[in-house]
Amino acid sequence: MTEALGRTPASEAFTPPTRFAVPGRIPVSDRVASVWQTATITEIRRETPHAATFRLAVPAWAGHLPGQHLMLRLTAEDGYVAQRHYSIASAPDDSGHIELTLDHVEGGEVSGWFHTTAQPGDTVEVRGPLSGFFAWPGDRPALLIGAGSGVVPLMSMVRHHRARGLDVPLRLLVSARTPEELIYAREYGAETTPVFTRSAPEGVPVGRMAAAHVAPLLAQRPPGGWEAYVCGSNGFAEHASRLLVAAGQPVDRIRIERFG
């Protein structure tokens, strides 16, 4: 589910300079998004004890923008169908592959199948990409805030930023319970600040994401201002949005994707 936090009066609304003149909602082709395609699992990589990345070959994939998601469908032999939304973790490229990172939800039908049964060579169906609203084309400063598997669409943005050598500012604040549960831990660089809520490496404080994490980033004020992307559970999305607004981020420049 994707949404804007709210609207500001017209006088405060962001008027993008020409260089950033990309509409907030990026069009998604209805035709592309409505066609189911077969995807073959080609690789499974463990990220944390509860999360793994599944690389899928989708030869006719039309491409996506960082932040977009897809619909995934599993069909059992008896015809029972389960479908769920998943964010695309990989940056756009022309490899004919995309990557998803799934948390193993206890008792979960779809994530349970991926984590306990799926093997390279198995096929699923996908359609997408979906939702232009949470997409970041790489054209404006991006302040990314995620928790748990909410970091997945944000990682696509980080990877895109690196792969294209973009110089537009990008920062990631990511919350995890413990260092062991921090998805993509090995990939983060200077753009990322991890926040740990249960246990942390020595010398790193333990606690919830707070004004002290968000306010210094807002204070950097890059040209054109930040576009904020928040992703995680309902509770986390509310908390992070409040921190952003309190630190001065305009509400109409906060994009939220809720996994809960």
Ligand X SMILES: Cc1cc2nc3c(=O)[nH]c(=O)nc-3n(C[C@H](O)[C@H](O)[C@H](O)COP(=O)(O)OP(=O)(O)OC[C@H]3O[C@@H](n4cnc5c(N)ncnc54)[C@H](O)[C@@H]3O)c2cc1C
Nearest to ligand X of 248, 260 (CB atom): 260
Question: Which of 16, 24, 108, 179 touches ligand X (CB under 6 A)?
Answer: 108
CB 173 within 8 A of CB 216: no
Q: Shortest gap between Cβ of 86 and ligand X (angstroms)? A: 5
Question: Which of 9, 107, 121, 189 touches ligand X (CB under 6 A)?
Answer: 107
Give 51's contacts (C-beta < 8 A, 6+ positions apart): 101, 102, 103, 104, 149, 181, 183
Q: Give the C-alpha separation, 165 to 41, whole Å.
A: 29
Nearest to ligand X of 4, 168 (CB atom): 4
Residue 171 binding ligand X, by CB under 6 A: no
Nearest to ligand X of 151, 209 (CB atom): 151
CB 175 within 8 A of CB 146: yes
Nearest to ligand X of 149, 249 (CB atom): 149
Stretch that binds ligand X, among 25-33, 95-103, 158-166, 239-247 (CB under 6 A): 95-103
CB 121 within 8 A of CB 41: yes
Residue 112 binding ligand X, by CB under 6 A: yes
**Amino acid at residue number 237:** A
Q: Give the C-alpha separation, 19 to 162, whole Å.
A: 20
Residue 87 binding ligand X, by CB under 6 A: yes
Residue 127 binding ligand X, by CB under 6 A: no
Residue 48 binding ligand X, by CB under 6 A: no
Q: Give the C-alpha separation, 42 to 39, whole Å.
A: 9
Question: Which of 56, 152, 195, 218 touches ligand X (CB under 6 A)?
Answer: 152
Q: Which of 90, 128, 132 is nearest to 255 (CA)?
A: 132
Footprint of ligand X on this chain (CB under 6 A)?
A: 1, 69, 84-87, 101-103, 105, 107-112, 149, 152, 257, 259-260
